[in-house]
Amino acid sequence: MATVTRVLTCVLSGAVLSCGDALVDERYAGAPRFMVEGLVTGGSEYVNENEPGVTLAVFWSPQGPKDSAAETLVEQPGSAYRAEYYREFEMPIFDEPGPEHLTRTPSGERYGIARLGAYRDENGNGRRDTTEPFLGSTHRRALLRAFTALTAEESPTQSPVPEGWHVVTTPLACGGPFPPEDTPVADGECGVPLGSPCKNDADCGGGECVHTFAEPWPGGACLIPEPPPDGCRQRGSVLLRYPGDSKAYWIPGCSESADCGRPHPYQCDLQIRGCMPSASVSLELTDKAPLPSFCLGPPLR
């Protein structure tokens, strides 16, 4: 509630320098339906120092998670939001996606899958025109809106998804085996306080104190590297491995965020099914790479 109040204050007062600026009019007044928190990042070659602002918006994939081509994504009207490079943002979403933004499960249940896209709104009309190229998109995250609870069989994450708005880690399983069939079995009693805050490895009882793995882990977290130095993979843990990354770690398994016992941005990620700091997003600026796929496998063009 404090976050919602803070963001509404920023929106209504126009405090752009400290909070960003939701580009909305009186039609969208009221409490946000969901908040997306994150950081705009990117190499120096993609940052315009003379124009530090960038427009973010929600782009839905009505063709479903297996289609991630930029030209098929549909921007949600009224979602445009001004952010700045290397500054944290809190982006309010005031409206539900419309029928034109949604896809369906095999049984016909509606849901939405989206990413945040970045562009420069050259004419200030609050939407991305075809002449305004994508500058980047959310990195390793997707926005999922489930209007009814989805079963594991129906969900793009291959795990149950409750009704509501969710930030989930990508790539999604999208019907493939998850975890992958070659994942080792975690059945040891290793004595590691898995997921607990830490300052150094000595706090982790044989585990590793991780402060950064693909992204910051605020307050540190006791994890077990794969392969484990002593061969022990803790019972109840799940393996977190990002495509293309040589490192992997065993993290606490969970069924809901209350299992994690850590404040934001830690949550029970509905894709990995483990406790990790995935409730916030990183939007990476790059004008050369294609938009990453929502699903496991190479980007779709």
Q: Given this model, what pLDDT does residue 181 score? A: 73
Instruction: Evaluate whether residue 62 is within a structural domain.
Output: yes
Residue 208 lies in a domain: yes
- For residue 110, the tally of other CB atoms under 10 A from its CB is 15
The rounded distance, in Å, linking the Cα atoms of 229 and 288 is 39
Residue with tokens 């590793």: 208
Cis ω for the linkage preceding 265 (within 30 of 0): yes
Range of the domain at 257: 180-262
| Residue among 36, 95, 119, 106 nearest 66 (CA) | 106
Q: What are φ and ψ of residue 237, in 5° steps?
A: -95, 160
pLDDT value at position 149? 95
Owner of token pair 């969208």: 28
Per DSSP, the three-state class of 207 is: coil
**How many angstroms separate the CA atoms of 201 and 235, rounded?**
20
Model-level pTM?
0.84
For residues 184 and 137, membership in a common domain is answered with no
State whether 209 and 161 are in the same domain: no
- Quote the Cα angle for 134-140-143, to 5°: 75
Q: Are 48 and 281 in contact (CB under 8 A)?
A: no
- The whole-number pLDDT of residue 288 equals 60
pLDDT in tens, the chain (301 residues): 333 333 333 433 333 333 455 554 444 458 999 999 999 987 766 666 777 789 999 999 999 998 767 788 999 999 999 998 888 999 999 999 999 999 999 899 999 999 999 998 989 999 999 999 888 888 789 999 999 999 998 999 988 999 999 999 998 888 776 777 778 888 999 999 999 999 999 999 999 999 999 889 999 999 999 999 999 999 999 999 987 788 999 999 999 999 999 999 999 999 999 999 999 999 888 766 567 778 875 433 3
210 and 249 housed in the same domain: yes
Residue 291 lies in a domain: no
Distance CA 250, CA 225 (A): 6
Could you tell me if 97 and 208 lie in one domain? no
End-to-end distance of the chain based on CA atoms, in angstroms?
Answer: 40
